[in-house]
Chains A and B, each alone.
Chain A
Amino acid sequence: MSTTAPAPTALDVSATPPVPFGRLVSVELRKALDTRAGRWFTGSILALCLVVVVIYALAAPTESQSLGQIAGVAGGVLGYFLPVLVILMLTSEWSQRTGLVTFTLEPRRPRVIGAKLVAALLLGIGLIVVALVIAVLGNLIGGGDWSVEARVLINGAVVANLIAILTGFAIGMLLMNTPAAIVTYFIYTLVLPTAVGVLSALQDWFDKLAPWIEFNTAQQPLFMGDYRLEGQEWAQFVTAGLIWLVLPFVLGLMRLLRAEPK
Protein backbone atom coordinates (compact mmCIF):
# COMPACT_ATOMS: atom_id res chain seq x y z
CA MET A 1 0.00 0.00 0.00
CA SER A 2 2.82 2.37 0.88
CA THR A 3 4.82 1.46 -2.19
CA THR A 4 3.06 3.29 -4.94
CA ALA A 5 3.23 0.92 -7.87
CA PRO A 6 3.38 2.52 -11.29
CA ALA A 7 -0.24 2.73 -12.31
CA PRO A 8 -0.72 0.49 -15.33
CA THR A 9 -2.96 1.89 -17.99
CA ALA A 10 -3.25 -1.23 -20.12
CA LEU A 11 -4.44 -4.61 -18.94
CA ASP A 12 -1.86 -7.36 -19.29
CA VAL A 13 -3.96 -10.33 -20.35
CA SER A 14 -1.13 -12.37 -21.84
CA ALA A 15 -0.99 -14.69 -18.82
CA THR A 16 -4.75 -15.23 -18.65
CA PRO A 17 -6.20 -18.06 -20.74
CA PRO A 18 -9.91 -17.84 -21.52
CA VAL A 19 -12.33 -19.81 -19.33
CA PRO A 20 -12.19 -23.39 -20.67
CA PHE A 21 -15.48 -24.78 -21.95
CA GLY A 22 -15.28 -27.78 -19.66
CA ARG A 23 -15.11 -25.51 -16.65
CA LEU A 24 -18.24 -23.67 -17.81
CA VAL A 25 -20.02 -27.02 -18.16
CA SER A 26 -19.04 -28.15 -14.67
CA VAL A 27 -20.13 -24.81 -13.20
CA GLU A 28 -23.51 -25.06 -14.98
CA LEU A 29 -23.97 -28.60 -13.66
CA ARG A 30 -23.21 -27.39 -10.18
CA LYS A 31 -25.65 -24.50 -10.56
CA ALA A 32 -28.39 -26.90 -11.61
CA LEU A 33 -28.09 -28.80 -8.34
CA ASP A 34 -26.81 -26.35 -5.73
CA THR A 35 -30.06 -24.59 -4.96
CA ARG A 36 -32.78 -25.92 -2.72
CA ALA A 37 -35.18 -25.88 -5.70
CA GLY A 38 -32.81 -27.80 -7.96
CA ARG A 39 -31.85 -30.38 -5.36
CA TRP A 40 -35.38 -31.01 -4.15
CA PHE A 41 -36.76 -31.19 -7.63
CA THR A 42 -34.16 -33.70 -8.76
CA GLY A 43 -34.70 -35.73 -5.60
CA SER A 44 -38.48 -35.59 -6.06
CA ILE A 45 -38.29 -36.80 -9.67
CA LEU A 46 -36.23 -39.81 -8.64
CA ALA A 47 -38.46 -40.49 -5.62
CA LEU A 48 -41.54 -40.33 -7.84
CA CYS A 49 -39.82 -42.59 -10.34
CA LEU A 50 -39.13 -45.10 -7.57
CA VAL A 51 -42.71 -44.97 -6.26
CA VAL A 52 -44.25 -45.46 -9.70
CA VAL A 53 -41.86 -48.32 -10.52
CA VAL A 54 -42.57 -50.10 -7.21
CA ILE A 55 -46.33 -49.73 -7.71
CA TYR A 56 -45.98 -51.05 -11.25
CA ALA A 57 -43.87 -53.99 -10.06
CA LEU A 58 -46.44 -54.89 -7.43
CA ALA A 59 -49.61 -54.23 -9.41
CA ALA A 60 -48.92 -54.98 -13.07
CA PRO A 61 -49.95 -58.42 -14.41
CA THR A 62 -47.19 -61.00 -14.87
CA GLU A 63 -47.16 -60.74 -18.65
CA SER A 64 -46.31 -57.02 -18.34
CA GLN A 65 -43.37 -57.67 -16.05
CA SER A 66 -40.03 -57.43 -17.79
CA LEU A 67 -36.99 -55.22 -17.43
CA GLY A 68 -37.71 -53.59 -20.77
CA GLN A 69 -41.25 -52.64 -19.85
CA ILE A 70 -40.41 -51.45 -16.36
CA ALA A 71 -37.53 -49.40 -17.75
CA GLY A 72 -40.01 -47.77 -20.11
CA VAL A 73 -42.15 -46.80 -17.12
CA ALA A 74 -39.17 -45.33 -15.22
CA GLY A 75 -37.96 -43.47 -18.31
CA GLY A 76 -41.46 -42.13 -18.92
CA VAL A 77 -41.73 -40.61 -15.44
CA LEU A 78 -38.29 -39.09 -15.85
CA GLY A 79 -39.01 -37.69 -19.31
CA TYR A 80 -42.09 -36.02 -17.96
CA PHE A 81 -40.30 -33.93 -15.36
CA LEU A 82 -36.75 -33.68 -16.68
CA PRO A 83 -37.65 -30.68 -18.88
CA VAL A 84 -38.65 -28.69 -15.79
CA LEU A 85 -35.14 -29.14 -14.41
CA VAL A 86 -33.73 -27.98 -17.73
CA ILE A 87 -36.11 -25.02 -17.80
CA LEU A 88 -34.87 -23.94 -14.35
CA MET A 89 -31.26 -24.01 -15.58
CA LEU A 90 -32.12 -21.31 -18.10
CA THR A 91 -34.89 -19.27 -16.54
CA SER A 92 -33.26 -18.85 -13.12
CA GLU A 93 -30.64 -16.67 -14.82
CA TRP A 94 -33.47 -14.24 -15.48
CA SER A 95 -36.02 -14.90 -12.76
CA GLN A 96 -33.29 -14.92 -10.08
CA ARG A 97 -31.24 -12.40 -12.08
CA THR A 98 -28.04 -14.40 -11.81
CA GLY A 99 -27.50 -13.77 -15.53
CA LEU A 100 -25.99 -10.45 -14.49
CA VAL A 101 -23.05 -12.36 -13.01
CA THR A 102 -23.02 -15.33 -15.40
CA PHE A 103 -22.83 -13.23 -18.55
CA THR A 104 -20.30 -10.87 -16.98
CA LEU A 105 -17.90 -13.66 -16.05
CA GLU A 106 -18.22 -15.11 -19.56
CA PRO A 107 -19.35 -12.39 -21.99
CA ARG A 108 -19.27 -14.76 -24.95
CA ARG A 109 -22.83 -15.84 -24.55
CA PRO A 110 -22.90 -18.70 -27.10
CA ARG A 111 -20.33 -20.50 -24.94
CA VAL A 112 -22.51 -20.11 -21.86
CA ILE A 113 -25.56 -21.43 -23.72
CA GLY A 114 -23.50 -24.29 -25.15
CA ALA A 115 -22.22 -25.14 -21.67
CA LYS A 116 -25.78 -25.14 -20.37
CA LEU A 117 -26.92 -27.49 -23.13
CA VAL A 118 -24.06 -29.91 -22.48
CA ALA A 119 -24.72 -29.72 -18.74
CA ALA A 120 -28.44 -30.41 -19.34
CA LEU A 121 -27.59 -33.44 -21.46
CA LEU A 122 -25.10 -34.76 -18.89
CA LEU A 123 -27.64 -34.25 -16.14
CA GLY A 124 -30.21 -36.07 -18.28
CA ILE A 125 -27.85 -39.00 -18.88
CA GLY A 126 -27.07 -39.20 -15.16
CA LEU A 127 -30.75 -39.30 -14.27
CA ILE A 128 -31.50 -41.86 -16.99
CA VAL A 129 -28.84 -44.13 -15.49
CA VAL A 130 -30.36 -43.74 -12.02
CA ALA A 131 -33.82 -44.41 -13.50
CA LEU A 132 -32.53 -47.61 -15.10
CA VAL A 133 -31.09 -48.71 -11.76
CA ILE A 134 -34.51 -48.07 -10.25
CA ALA A 135 -36.02 -50.14 -13.05
CA VAL A 136 -33.69 -53.05 -12.21
CA LEU A 137 -34.76 -52.82 -8.57
CA GLY A 138 -38.40 -52.74 -9.68
CA ASN A 139 -37.91 -55.81 -11.81
CA LEU A 140 -36.38 -57.64 -8.86
CA ILE A 141 -39.52 -56.81 -6.85
CA GLY A 142 -41.89 -57.67 -9.68
CA GLY A 143 -40.00 -60.85 -10.51
CA GLY A 144 -40.31 -60.27 -14.26
CA ASP A 145 -37.92 -61.63 -16.81
CA TRP A 146 -34.85 -59.71 -17.87
CA SER A 147 -35.70 -59.41 -21.53
CA VAL A 148 -35.17 -56.00 -23.03
CA GLU A 149 -36.37 -54.90 -26.42
CA ALA A 150 -33.44 -52.69 -27.42
CA ARG A 151 -35.57 -50.42 -29.56
CA VAL A 152 -38.01 -49.72 -26.74
CA LEU A 153 -35.18 -48.93 -24.41
CA ILE A 154 -33.55 -46.57 -26.88
CA ASN A 155 -36.81 -44.85 -27.80
CA GLY A 156 -38.16 -44.65 -24.28
CA ALA A 157 -35.02 -43.88 -22.33
CA VAL A 158 -32.84 -42.03 -24.83
CA VAL A 159 -34.84 -40.51 -27.70
CA ALA A 160 -37.84 -39.44 -25.60
CA ASN A 161 -35.62 -37.92 -22.91
CA LEU A 162 -33.42 -36.20 -25.45
CA ILE A 163 -36.48 -34.63 -27.04
CA ALA A 164 -37.73 -33.71 -23.56
CA ILE A 165 -34.43 -32.02 -22.65
CA LEU A 166 -34.32 -30.07 -25.90
CA THR A 167 -37.97 -29.07 -25.51
CA GLY A 168 -37.33 -27.77 -22.01
CA PHE A 169 -34.23 -25.97 -23.24
CA ALA A 170 -36.14 -24.31 -26.09
CA ILE A 171 -39.02 -23.20 -23.86
CA GLY A 172 -36.59 -21.92 -21.22
CA MET A 173 -34.66 -19.86 -23.76
CA LEU A 174 -37.78 -18.55 -25.39
CA LEU A 175 -39.67 -17.46 -22.28
CA MET A 176 -36.86 -16.58 -19.82
CA ASN A 177 -39.32 -16.77 -16.96
CA THR A 178 -39.68 -19.73 -14.61
CA PRO A 179 -43.45 -19.86 -13.97
CA ALA A 180 -44.38 -19.02 -17.56
CA ALA A 181 -41.99 -21.63 -18.95
CA ILE A 182 -43.18 -24.42 -16.64
CA VAL A 183 -46.85 -23.66 -17.33
CA THR A 184 -46.16 -23.56 -21.07
CA TYR A 185 -44.34 -26.87 -20.88
CA PHE A 186 -47.24 -28.60 -19.15
CA ILE A 187 -49.75 -27.09 -21.54
CA TYR A 188 -47.61 -28.39 -24.38
CA THR A 189 -47.25 -31.86 -22.97
CA LEU A 190 -50.58 -32.31 -21.14
CA VAL A 191 -53.28 -30.08 -22.55
CA LEU A 192 -52.23 -30.03 -26.19
CA PRO A 193 -52.26 -33.83 -26.80
CA THR A 194 -55.62 -34.11 -25.03
CA ALA A 195 -57.12 -31.34 -27.11
CA VAL A 196 -55.69 -32.88 -30.26
CA GLY A 197 -57.06 -36.27 -29.24
CA VAL A 198 -60.54 -34.88 -28.72
CA LEU A 199 -60.48 -32.97 -32.00
CA SER A 200 -59.16 -36.01 -33.85
CA ALA A 201 -61.97 -38.13 -32.48
CA LEU A 202 -64.56 -35.61 -33.63
CA GLN A 203 -63.17 -34.64 -37.00
CA ASP A 204 -61.80 -37.16 -39.41
CA TRP A 205 -59.82 -34.60 -41.38
CA PHE A 206 -58.11 -33.37 -38.22
CA ASP A 207 -57.21 -36.92 -37.28
CA LYS A 208 -55.22 -37.12 -40.50
CA LEU A 209 -53.68 -33.70 -40.03
CA ALA A 210 -52.73 -34.03 -36.34
CA PRO A 211 -49.52 -36.09 -36.69
CA TRP A 212 -48.18 -33.48 -39.09
CA ILE A 213 -48.70 -30.52 -36.80
CA GLU A 214 -48.59 -31.96 -33.28
CA PHE A 215 -45.30 -33.32 -32.04
CA ASN A 216 -46.62 -35.57 -29.26
CA THR A 217 -48.89 -37.30 -31.77
CA ALA A 218 -46.05 -37.58 -34.27
CA GLN A 219 -43.90 -39.32 -31.63
CA GLN A 220 -46.46 -42.02 -30.88
CA PRO A 221 -45.16 -44.53 -33.47
CA LEU A 222 -41.93 -44.59 -31.45
CA PHE A 223 -43.78 -46.27 -28.62
CA MET A 224 -46.25 -48.44 -30.54
CA GLY A 225 -46.24 -51.29 -33.03
CA ASP A 226 -42.71 -52.20 -33.97
CA TYR A 227 -41.34 -49.07 -32.31
CA ARG A 228 -39.93 -47.60 -35.47
CA LEU A 229 -40.78 -44.73 -37.75
CA GLU A 230 -41.55 -45.63 -41.35
CA GLY A 231 -42.06 -43.59 -44.49
CA GLN A 232 -44.76 -41.07 -43.82
CA GLU A 233 -44.23 -41.30 -40.06
CA TRP A 234 -40.72 -39.98 -40.55
CA ALA A 235 -42.07 -37.07 -42.57
CA GLN A 236 -44.63 -36.34 -39.86
CA PHE A 237 -42.00 -36.61 -37.12
CA VAL A 238 -39.73 -34.17 -38.93
CA THR A 239 -42.49 -31.72 -39.82
CA ALA A 240 -44.02 -31.59 -36.34
CA GLY A 241 -40.53 -31.52 -34.83
CA LEU A 242 -39.63 -28.51 -36.94
CA ILE A 243 -42.73 -26.68 -35.70
CA TRP A 244 -42.55 -27.61 -32.01
CA LEU A 245 -38.87 -28.13 -31.36
CA VAL A 246 -36.57 -26.61 -33.98
CA LEU A 247 -38.47 -23.37 -34.48
CA PRO A 248 -38.85 -22.55 -30.76
CA PHE A 249 -35.22 -23.56 -30.21
CA VAL A 250 -33.93 -21.21 -32.90
CA LEU A 251 -36.19 -18.33 -31.83
CA GLY A 252 -35.24 -18.89 -28.20
CA LEU A 253 -31.55 -18.95 -29.05
CA MET A 254 -31.86 -15.68 -30.94
CA ARG A 255 -33.72 -14.10 -28.06
CA LEU A 256 -31.25 -15.30 -25.45
CA LEU A 257 -28.25 -14.11 -27.43
CA ARG A 258 -29.70 -10.62 -27.70
CA ALA A 259 -31.42 -10.17 -24.35
CA GLU A 260 -30.08 -7.66 -21.86
CA PRO A 261 -29.80 -9.28 -18.45
CA LYS A 262 -31.51 -6.90 -16.03
Chain B
Amino acid sequence: MITVQSLTKVYGAHRAVDDVSFTAQSGRVTGFLGPNGAGKTTTMRAMVGLTPPTSGTVTIGGLPYADIPNPGRHVGVLLDASAQHNGRTGREVLTIGARTMGLPDSRVEEMLDLVSLSGDEGKRRVRDYSLGMRQRLGVAHALLGDPSVLILDEPANGLDPAGIRWMRSLLKSYADRGGTVLLSSHLLHEVEQIADEMILIGRGKIVAQGDRKSLLSGGAASALVTSEDNERLAKALADAGIATSAAGEGLRADCDPAAVGRAALTAGVVLTDLRTGSAGLEDLFLSLTADTQREGHPSAATDQGDRA
Protein backbone atom coordinates (compact mmCIF):
# COMPACT_ATOMS: atom_id res chain seq x y z
CA MET B 1 0.00 0.00 0.00
CA ILE B 2 1.28 3.40 -0.95
CA THR B 3 0.17 6.41 1.06
CA VAL B 4 0.87 9.91 -0.18
CA GLN B 5 0.12 12.68 2.28
CA SER B 6 0.06 16.39 1.41
CA LEU B 7 3.00 15.92 -0.95
CA THR B 8 4.31 19.21 -2.30
CA LYS B 9 7.36 19.83 -4.45
CA VAL B 10 8.29 23.36 -5.43
CA TYR B 11 10.99 24.20 -7.98
CA GLY B 12 11.61 27.93 -7.69
CA ALA B 13 8.26 29.54 -8.45
CA HIS B 14 6.87 26.38 -10.03
CA ARG B 15 4.70 24.10 -7.89
CA ALA B 16 5.30 20.80 -9.65
CA VAL B 17 3.29 18.86 -7.06
CA ASP B 18 0.81 20.76 -4.95
CA ASP B 19 -0.62 19.20 -1.80
CA VAL B 20 -1.23 15.77 -3.30
CA SER B 21 -2.76 13.06 -1.11
CA PHE B 22 -3.94 9.63 -2.17
CA THR B 23 -3.67 5.96 -1.36
CA ALA B 24 -2.87 3.07 -3.67
CA GLN B 25 -4.40 -0.03 -2.07
CA SER B 26 -2.93 -3.47 -2.18
CA GLY B 27 -4.75 -5.94 -4.38
CA ARG B 28 -5.74 -3.15 -6.74
CA VAL B 29 -4.38 -1.44 -9.80
CA THR B 30 -4.30 2.31 -9.28
CA GLY B 31 -4.05 4.45 -12.39
CA PHE B 32 -2.31 7.78 -12.08
CA LEU B 33 -3.54 9.94 -14.90
CA GLY B 34 -2.70 13.37 -16.10
CA PRO B 35 -1.45 15.36 -19.08
CA ASN B 36 2.27 15.79 -19.69
CA GLY B 37 3.94 17.86 -17.00
CA ALA B 38 1.08 17.43 -14.54
CA GLY B 39 3.37 16.17 -11.77
CA LYS B 40 2.96 12.39 -12.12
CA THR B 41 6.65 11.66 -12.50
CA THR B 42 7.69 14.06 -9.75
CA THR B 43 5.22 12.37 -7.39
CA MET B 44 6.56 8.92 -8.27
CA ARG B 45 10.16 10.07 -7.91
CA ALA B 46 9.32 11.43 -4.47
CA MET B 47 7.88 8.02 -3.56
CA VAL B 48 11.23 6.32 -4.06
CA GLY B 49 13.34 9.06 -2.56
CA LEU B 50 14.93 10.37 -5.76
CA THR B 51 13.28 13.76 -5.32
CA PRO B 52 13.15 15.18 -1.81
CA PRO B 53 9.69 16.69 -1.27
CA THR B 54 9.34 20.31 -0.19
CA SER B 55 6.74 19.10 2.29
CA GLY B 56 4.52 16.10 2.86
CA THR B 57 5.33 12.41 3.15
CA VAL B 58 5.10 9.18 1.23
CA THR B 59 5.09 5.79 2.88
CA ILE B 60 5.10 2.39 1.24
CA GLY B 61 3.57 -0.28 3.43
CA GLY B 62 3.94 2.11 6.35
CA LEU B 63 7.63 2.84 5.76
CA PRO B 64 9.43 5.74 4.12
CA TYR B 65 11.24 4.33 1.08
CA ALA B 66 14.68 5.04 2.56
CA ASP B 67 13.85 2.82 5.55
CA ILE B 68 13.09 -0.23 3.44
CA PRO B 69 16.08 -2.59 3.55
CA ASN B 70 17.09 -3.91 0.13
CA PRO B 71 14.13 -2.01 -1.39
CA GLY B 72 14.28 -3.86 -4.71
CA ARG B 73 12.92 -6.92 -2.93
CA HIS B 74 9.81 -5.03 -1.84
CA VAL B 75 9.15 -2.27 -4.33
CA GLY B 76 9.54 -2.67 -8.08
CA VAL B 77 10.23 0.63 -9.76
CA LEU B 78 10.24 1.67 -13.41
CA LEU B 79 10.61 5.40 -13.79
CA ASP B 80 12.12 5.70 -17.24
CA ALA B 81 12.76 2.77 -19.52
CA SER B 82 15.31 4.80 -21.48
CA ALA B 83 17.44 5.39 -18.40
CA GLN B 84 19.72 2.43 -18.97
CA HIS B 85 23.33 2.28 -20.07
CA ASN B 86 23.29 1.98 -23.85
CA GLY B 87 26.44 -0.11 -23.84
CA ARG B 88 25.03 -2.89 -21.65
CA THR B 89 23.06 -5.85 -22.89
CA GLY B 90 19.54 -6.36 -21.59
CA ARG B 91 20.72 -9.44 -19.73
CA GLU B 92 23.56 -7.50 -18.11
CA VAL B 93 21.19 -4.75 -16.95
CA LEU B 94 19.11 -7.38 -15.16
CA THR B 95 22.20 -9.16 -13.85
CA ILE B 96 23.39 -5.98 -12.16
CA GLY B 97 19.96 -5.56 -10.56
CA ALA B 98 19.85 -9.20 -9.46
CA ARG B 99 23.36 -9.01 -7.99
CA THR B 100 22.52 -5.84 -6.08
CA MET B 101 19.41 -7.43 -4.62
CA GLY B 102 21.26 -10.67 -3.87
CA LEU B 103 19.25 -12.84 -6.25
CA PRO B 104 20.54 -15.85 -8.17
CA ASP B 105 21.39 -15.27 -11.83
CA SER B 106 18.68 -17.76 -12.79
CA ARG B 107 16.17 -15.06 -11.87
CA VAL B 108 17.48 -13.02 -14.81
CA GLU B 109 16.52 -15.73 -17.30
CA GLU B 110 13.10 -16.10 -15.69
CA MET B 111 12.42 -12.41 -16.06
CA LEU B 112 13.70 -12.28 -19.66
CA ASP B 113 11.31 -15.14 -20.46
CA LEU B 114 8.47 -13.43 -18.66
CA VAL B 115 8.78 -10.28 -20.78
CA SER B 116 9.57 -12.20 -23.98
CA LEU B 117 13.08 -10.85 -24.37
CA SER B 118 14.57 -14.30 -24.44
CA GLY B 119 17.39 -15.61 -26.55
CA ASP B 120 19.20 -13.18 -28.80
CA GLU B 121 17.28 -10.11 -27.69
CA GLY B 122 18.65 -10.41 -24.17
CA LYS B 123 22.17 -10.44 -25.61
CA ARG B 124 21.69 -7.28 -27.60
CA ARG B 125 22.77 -3.94 -26.27
CA VAL B 126 20.13 -1.56 -24.95
CA ARG B 127 21.32 0.92 -27.58
CA ASP B 128 19.73 -1.33 -30.22
CA TYR B 129 16.45 -1.78 -28.36
CA SER B 130 13.20 -0.25 -29.53
CA LEU B 131 11.22 1.75 -26.98
CA GLY B 132 8.87 -1.20 -26.58
CA MET B 133 11.76 -3.55 -25.81
CA ARG B 134 13.15 -1.07 -23.31
CA GLN B 135 9.77 -0.98 -21.59
CA ARG B 136 9.73 -4.78 -21.40
CA LEU B 137 13.24 -4.73 -19.96
CA GLY B 138 12.19 -2.05 -17.47
CA VAL B 139 9.19 -4.11 -16.37
CA ALA B 140 11.42 -7.17 -16.03
CA HIS B 141 13.78 -5.11 -13.87
CA ALA B 142 10.90 -3.91 -11.70
CA LEU B 143 9.70 -7.50 -11.19
CA LEU B 144 13.17 -8.97 -10.50
CA GLY B 145 12.97 -8.91 -6.72
CA ASP B 146 9.42 -10.31 -6.64
CA PRO B 147 8.19 -7.12 -4.94
CA SER B 148 4.76 -6.64 -3.40
CA VAL B 149 4.50 -3.05 -4.65
CA LEU B 150 4.97 -1.87 -8.23
CA ILE B 151 5.52 1.75 -9.22
CA LEU B 152 5.54 2.16 -12.99
CA ASP B 153 5.79 5.47 -14.82
CA GLU B 154 4.23 5.29 -18.29
CA PRO B 155 4.90 1.56 -18.68
CA ALA B 156 2.74 1.23 -21.80
CA ASN B 157 4.62 3.97 -23.64
CA GLY B 158 6.04 2.58 -26.86
CA LEU B 159 4.36 -0.82 -26.58
CA ASP B 160 2.45 -2.18 -29.55
CA PRO B 161 -1.22 -3.17 -29.05
CA ALA B 162 -0.28 -6.76 -28.25
CA GLY B 163 2.29 -5.48 -25.78
CA ILE B 164 -0.27 -3.25 -24.08
CA ARG B 165 -2.64 -6.20 -23.75
CA TRP B 166 0.20 -8.31 -22.32
CA MET B 167 1.07 -5.57 -19.82
CA ARG B 168 -2.57 -5.27 -18.81
CA SER B 169 -2.98 -8.95 -18.00
CA LEU B 170 0.39 -9.02 -16.25
CA LEU B 171 -0.51 -6.15 -13.92
CA LYS B 172 -4.04 -7.38 -13.40
CA SER B 173 -2.91 -10.82 -12.25
CA TYR B 174 -0.23 -9.19 -10.13
CA ALA B 175 -2.86 -7.16 -8.28
CA ASP B 176 -5.13 -10.20 -8.04
CA ARG B 177 -2.38 -11.93 -6.10
CA GLY B 178 -2.48 -9.12 -3.57
CA GLY B 179 0.16 -6.79 -5.01
CA THR B 180 -0.09 -3.03 -5.10
CA VAL B 181 0.22 -1.54 -8.57
CA LEU B 182 0.52 2.16 -9.27
CA LEU B 183 0.94 3.04 -12.91
CA SER B 184 0.87 6.40 -14.56
CA SER B 185 -0.19 7.37 -18.03
CA HIS B 186 -1.14 10.40 -20.02
CA LEU B 187 -3.37 8.21 -22.16
CA LEU B 188 -6.67 7.42 -20.56
CA HIS B 189 -7.61 4.39 -22.65
CA GLU B 190 -4.40 2.64 -21.55
CA VAL B 191 -5.47 2.87 -17.96
CA GLU B 192 -9.26 2.79 -17.78
CA GLN B 193 -9.48 -0.88 -18.71
CA ILE B 194 -7.23 -2.15 -15.95
CA ALA B 195 -7.31 0.42 -13.20
CA ASP B 196 -9.61 -0.37 -10.29
CA GLU B 197 -9.02 3.09 -9.00
CA MET B 198 -8.02 6.24 -10.82
CA ILE B 199 -6.26 9.37 -9.63
CA LEU B 200 -6.52 12.30 -12.02
CA ILE B 201 -3.89 14.98 -11.68
CA GLY B 202 -3.53 18.29 -13.47
CA ARG B 203 -0.98 21.00 -12.87
CA GLY B 204 0.30 19.38 -9.69
CA LYS B 205 -3.12 19.05 -8.08
CA ILE B 206 -5.40 16.06 -7.81
CA VAL B 207 -8.59 16.93 -9.67
CA ALA B 208 -10.57 13.72 -9.14
CA GLN B 209 -10.17 10.24 -7.77
CA GLY B 210 -12.29 7.16 -7.44
CA ASP B 211 -13.26 4.06 -9.39
CA ARG B 212 -14.57 4.26 -12.91
CA LYS B 213 -18.22 4.15 -11.86
CA SER B 214 -18.03 6.87 -9.24
CA LEU B 215 -16.03 9.11 -11.53
CA LEU B 216 -18.72 8.79 -14.22
CA SER B 217 -21.77 9.02 -12.01
CA GLY B 218 -21.70 12.80 -12.05
CA GLY B 219 -22.46 13.09 -15.77
CA ALA B 220 -26.03 13.82 -17.02
CA ALA B 221 -27.71 11.28 -19.29
CA SER B 222 -27.31 11.89 -22.98
CA ALA B 223 -27.85 9.92 -26.18
CA LEU B 224 -26.43 10.22 -29.67
CA VAL B 225 -28.84 9.21 -32.40
CA THR B 226 -28.98 9.12 -36.17
CA SER B 227 -32.17 8.28 -38.06
CA GLU B 228 -33.60 8.31 -41.58
CA ASP B 229 -35.52 11.47 -40.69
CA ASN B 230 -33.77 13.47 -38.04
CA GLU B 231 -36.22 16.37 -38.26
CA ARG B 232 -39.24 14.21 -37.46
CA LEU B 233 -37.35 12.50 -34.69
CA ALA B 234 -36.34 15.84 -33.18
CA LYS B 235 -39.95 16.93 -33.23
CA ALA B 236 -41.11 13.68 -31.64
CA LEU B 237 -38.49 14.11 -28.91
CA ALA B 238 -39.50 17.72 -28.38
CA ASP B 239 -43.11 16.56 -27.99
CA ALA B 240 -41.89 14.21 -25.26
CA GLY B 241 -40.23 17.15 -23.57
CA ILE B 242 -36.68 16.16 -24.48
CA ALA B 243 -34.26 18.81 -25.71
CA THR B 244 -32.06 17.98 -28.72
CA SER B 245 -29.24 19.58 -30.57
CA ALA B 246 -27.51 18.81 -33.83
CA ALA B 247 -24.46 16.66 -33.46
CA GLY B 248 -22.54 15.56 -36.53
CA GLU B 249 -24.90 13.70 -38.88
CA GLY B 250 -27.45 13.14 -36.15
CA LEU B 251 -28.76 14.53 -32.90
CA ARG B 252 -27.77 14.71 -29.28
CA ALA B 253 -30.71 14.17 -26.96
CA ASP B 254 -30.65 15.00 -23.26
CA CYS B 255 -32.03 11.66 -22.11
CA ASP B 256 -31.01 8.03 -21.97
CA PRO B 257 -31.03 5.98 -25.20
CA ALA B 258 -34.17 4.06 -24.19
CA ALA B 259 -36.25 7.25 -24.18
CA VAL B 260 -35.05 8.04 -27.71
CA GLY B 261 -35.99 4.53 -28.84
CA ARG B 262 -39.43 4.87 -27.38
CA ALA B 263 -40.00 8.23 -29.08
CA ALA B 264 -38.77 6.83 -32.40
CA LEU B 265 -41.09 3.83 -32.12
CA THR B 266 -44.05 6.09 -31.47
CA ALA B 267 -43.15 8.40 -34.35
CA GLY B 268 -42.32 5.50 -36.67
CA VAL B 269 -38.85 6.80 -37.53
CA VAL B 270 -36.16 4.28 -38.49
CA LEU B 271 -33.04 4.65 -36.37
CA THR B 272 -29.71 3.92 -38.02
CA ASP B 273 -27.58 4.50 -34.96
CA LEU B 274 -28.28 4.95 -31.28
CA ARG B 275 -25.89 4.92 -28.36
CA THR B 276 -25.16 6.54 -25.06
CA GLY B 277 -23.63 9.94 -25.36
CA SER B 278 -22.87 10.47 -21.73
CA ALA B 279 -19.51 11.98 -21.30
CA GLY B 280 -16.91 9.22 -21.32
CA LEU B 281 -14.07 9.15 -18.93
CA GLU B 282 -12.04 10.85 -21.59
CA ASP B 283 -14.31 13.89 -21.61
CA LEU B 284 -14.27 13.94 -17.87
CA PHE B 285 -10.50 13.72 -17.94
CA LEU B 286 -10.23 16.51 -20.48
CA SER B 287 -12.75 18.78 -18.78
CA LEU B 288 -11.24 18.27 -15.34
CA THR B 289 -7.87 19.19 -16.64
CA ALA B 290 -9.21 21.75 -19.12
CA ASP B 291 -7.62 24.73 -17.47
CA THR B 292 -4.43 22.80 -17.08
CA GLN B 293 -4.24 21.48 -20.62
CA ARG B 294 -1.82 23.07 -23.00
CA GLU B 295 -4.19 22.65 -25.95
CA GLY B 296 -7.43 23.52 -24.17
CA HIS B 297 -10.48 21.30 -24.14
CA PRO B 298 -11.83 20.23 -27.52
CA SER B 299 -15.48 20.93 -26.75
CA ALA B 300 -16.93 18.57 -29.34
CA ALA B 301 -15.12 15.49 -28.12
CA THR B 302 -18.31 13.47 -27.98
CA ASP B 303 -19.71 14.66 -31.27
CA GLN B 304 -20.61 11.80 -33.53
CA GLY B 305 -18.34 12.94 -36.25
CA ASP B 306 -15.35 12.47 -33.99
CA ARG B 307 -16.23 8.96 -32.98
CA ALA B 308 -15.48 5.94 -35.06
Interface residues of A (CB under 8 A from B): 1, 4-11, 13, 16-20, 23-24, 26-27, 30-31, 34-38, 92, 96-98, 100-101, 103-108, 260-261
Contacts and interface: CB of A to CB of B under 8 A. Distances in A.
Given A11-B74, A92-B85, A108-B66, A6 B100 contact: no
21 contacts: A1-B176, A1-B177, A5-B177, A7-B27, A11-B60, A13-B74, A16-B70, A16-B73, A18-B70, A19-B101, A24-B100, A27-B96, A34-B96, A92-B85, A98-B84, A100-B80, A101-B77, A101-B84, A103-B50, A107-B65, A260-B51
B69 A13 contact: yes
A13 B87 contact: no
A94 B96 CA distance: 17
Contacts of A107: 48-49, 65-66, 71
Contacts of B52: 260
Task: Report the 9 A-B pairs with minimum CB-CB distance, sorted nearest first.
Answer: A11-B61, A35-B87, A97-B83, A7-B27, A7-B26, A18-B69, A5-B178, A100-B83, A96-B85
B25 interface: yes
Contacts of A19: 69-70, 100-102
Contact of A34 (B60, B79, B88): B88
Contacts, number: 124
Given A19-B100, A34-B92, A105 B71 contact: yes
A5 B175 CA distance: 10
Contacts of A92: 85
Contacts of B25: 7
A23 B97 contact: no
B63 A13 contact: yes
Given A18-B69, A100-B79, A23 B99 contact: yes
Interface residues of B, number: 49
Given A8-B61, A31-B96, A101-B83, 4 more contacts: A13-B63, A30-B96, A37-B87, A105-B97
A11 B1 CA distance: 8
A5 B77 CA distance: 23
Contacts of A38: 87
Contacts of B26: 7-9
Contacts of A96: 83-87
Contacts of A7: 1, 25-27, 178
